[in-house]
Structure formats: structure tokens, C-alpha cells
Structure 1
Amino acid sequence: MDFMYGWFMDPLTSGEYPKSMRLLVGARLPKFTAEQARLLKGSYDFIGLNYYTSLYATDAPQLRNAKPSYVTDSLVNPAFERDGKPIGIKVASDWLYVYPRGIEDLLLYTKEKYNNPLIYITENGINEYDDPTLSVEESLMDIFRIDYHYRHLFYLRCAIRNCVNVRGYYIWSLFDNFEWSSGYTARFGMTFVDYKNDLKRYEKLSALWFKDFLKEETRLYAE
């Protein structure tokens, strides 16, 4: 966590990098001056968290002899599987395994370690690969996306009930978009964009569900 999350959070809250990073990275890790530390500490209005998935982590002492790099410095092996069992269902992207409980774990961790800062979930979403064999009507039936957000909202509510200071939740994404190295082949949107027909837009089933969810008091039940 220190190498993926504390790397950003610790300077903002304490004015220095995590102790584990300072010990393991040593002289290769830049040091803040006293003035830089003063300016950094508390220099945020809110914390924006992007959550998609979670990883297992196992001790990797053998990496002490590896070439120093960001990948090896933490002496940890990250993995999506443990004992041959994946942490969740894998979707289109290789890095996205569905693990809704992780959003609650991350929020509770943030509350305890960083004195419960104001938080907005700035990204949370799931994708499918573009399938040119499907009709537009078929492409709108994204029940899996409704399930994904329903479960994440359930655990988000659990965190809020445990006094985590979360004030907003933003879905990734409103529209299908150009997605990094995947380009237009990965669709994260709740709105289907027809790339072959003048970029016409159609609400997917998840968009209709989310509109109803926001209008009404929707009950969220455990898995």
C-alpha cells in the first residue's frame, strides 16, 4: 500500500514519503526540504480516489538481489490470484478483476491511517471489449455493469456508515471513450457511442438503472 497509495498520501498528510519507502529505496528516493514538507502537508481540499480492483500481495525477499526499480523496491509480489483462485471475476481488461469489498477496505484504511480526510470516489467502473458482431440494441444490455456498481455502492455505503468522510461517487464513465492503449476497443461507458454512425449516443441499461437509483431510495442488500 505504501508504494501504490502512501507514495502520494503520506507527503500530503505528513510532509514525507512513507517510512517503508525511505528504508527500502534509500538514497534513490528524493527528500523534501523543510519548506517543501511544510507546503505539502495538508495541501489538499479533498482526496480523489479511483477504485477499480484489488490485488493480493505476498512477501518477495528474493527481490533484494534484483535490479533496483519501482517494480522490485517494495519486495512484494502483487497478484490477482491466490492458491489458484482469482480475487474476483475477470472482465475485458487484464488488470480488472471485480472485487467490490475492496472499495470499503480502501476507505476504512484511509480513514484510520490518514485521519479521515474528505473523499470523493472520482472513478469506479467496468468495461467490455467492443464487439462488432452485436447490434446496437444488444450492446445496450449491460446487466453486468449494473451489478458492478450496485455491489460497489453497497460497500461504499458500509464505509459511510462507519464514518468514512465520503461525499461523492463518480462512475467511469458516462460515455464510451478513447481508453489509453485500448483506444476505442474498450467500452467503459453507461452510454453507447456508435463510432460507425456519426457518434450517435444511446443510453445503456445501466444508465437507465442509475437514473432510477438517483431518483429513488434504492435498497442495497449484501451479497
Structure 2
Amino acid sequence: MTLRPDRFEDLDDVTMDDVEELLSRRFVLGLLEAHATRLDPARRSAAGPFVTHLLAETAAGIETLLSLQRRSLRPDQDGNVPFHRMLHDICDQIERQMRRTRAFDLVVDVAPACAVPGRQVVRLALIASELIINAIKHAHPAGAAGLVEVACRVDPDGTVVLTVCDDGIGLPEAFDPVAQGGFGMTLIRTLSRQLGAVVTFESTGLGLMVTTTVPPPPRRH
């Protein structure tokens, strides 16, 4: 099953600053969702101290994420960003926060030579973040420990291939990622369209592999 840019809804393009803000907001949303599972409905009305603690943790998470973004987004002389560093930073941050409420192993396989054009890197990072959070949240709904593997490479022609795999239950049989899903899937569709990327879902019931293939940007004359 494949998501192609020409099948996405007609949404307005966003700027790089907009996407950076979305990355921060989406991470915080994932953190809030993960922590919310620690409260049963009967306790939520009396959760004042918990909420105070959660807001403090969220503020710290925002500061950490913004710091790693500023460090990771510095391009080299060719205008490329070392995506291996940014991907490791994002995975480390997700792992630190979500491991408090969920059991999983997160493995990252990306070579130091994996550099992505600056015009693509934030959108690709946001896609990666969304796919990783989704895998951690949904692969094992019964709460069993799972494995999430993240890999990225740049082919000789400049094509970037990002893969996120899990060993969970796969996609529901009736679920259509082209048309269904909430904020996360809409975000992936929008960013993929802007990158001219193709997103492929391979679900067998023994796991899910999502591959995002991004063509090299057109050369500027």
C-alpha cells in the first residue's frame, strides 16, 4: 500500500519555521499522550499534582528538543545537514520520555555519512518522529515489550530512504493510510507531498515496515 503525493488532499504549503514548530508540538503531544495512560479515569479529577509535574516535565522536554534542533540543523558547506546526528537525537529524546510508560527497544541504524539537504531535513525528521511515536504507541496495544528499528541511507543519486519497522500487530485489516488516520497520518501525508516523497506500508500481521523514499531536490541554477 503506497501513499503518493498526487493523492493527498490539497493543503497549503508550510514554511520551514512552521515545520520546526510542528516538530516541537508533535513531540510534546506524544509525551502528553504517553503520560496520560498513567491515569485511570477515576483519578483524573484529582490529578492536580500529577498535572503540575507533567507540565514541568513537558517544559523541560521542549527546551531539550529545541536545543538539539539548534545543534543538529547546522548545514555544511554544501548545504547538507548531518541527518544521522539529528535522527539519533530525536530517538534519544523519544526514548527517554516514552520509556517511562511503555516497554520497547529502539534501534537506530544510520551511517555518519548520511547527510540530507537542508531544504528537506526538518520535514523528514518530523516524518521520522511521527512514525517512531506511532510504532511505540500502537504496535503492541496489549502492552508487551516491542522492538522498533529505524534506518536511513542516502543512495548515490541523492535519494533518501528512511525505514521504520516494528514487530507488532501491523495495520488493522480495514485501515487505509491513504485516507484514514488522525493528526499523525495527515501530517505524514502533507510533509510527504511537500517533499515529493513516496511512503510505502508493508503490513503482514507480524509487524509493520514503513518506508519513506525522498527524491533529491532539483538543482538550483
**TM-score, with length taken from structure 2:** 0.28
Query: Does 1 or 2 have the higher relative contact order (CA < 8 Å, sep 6+)?
Result: 2
TM-score, L = length of structure 1: 0.28
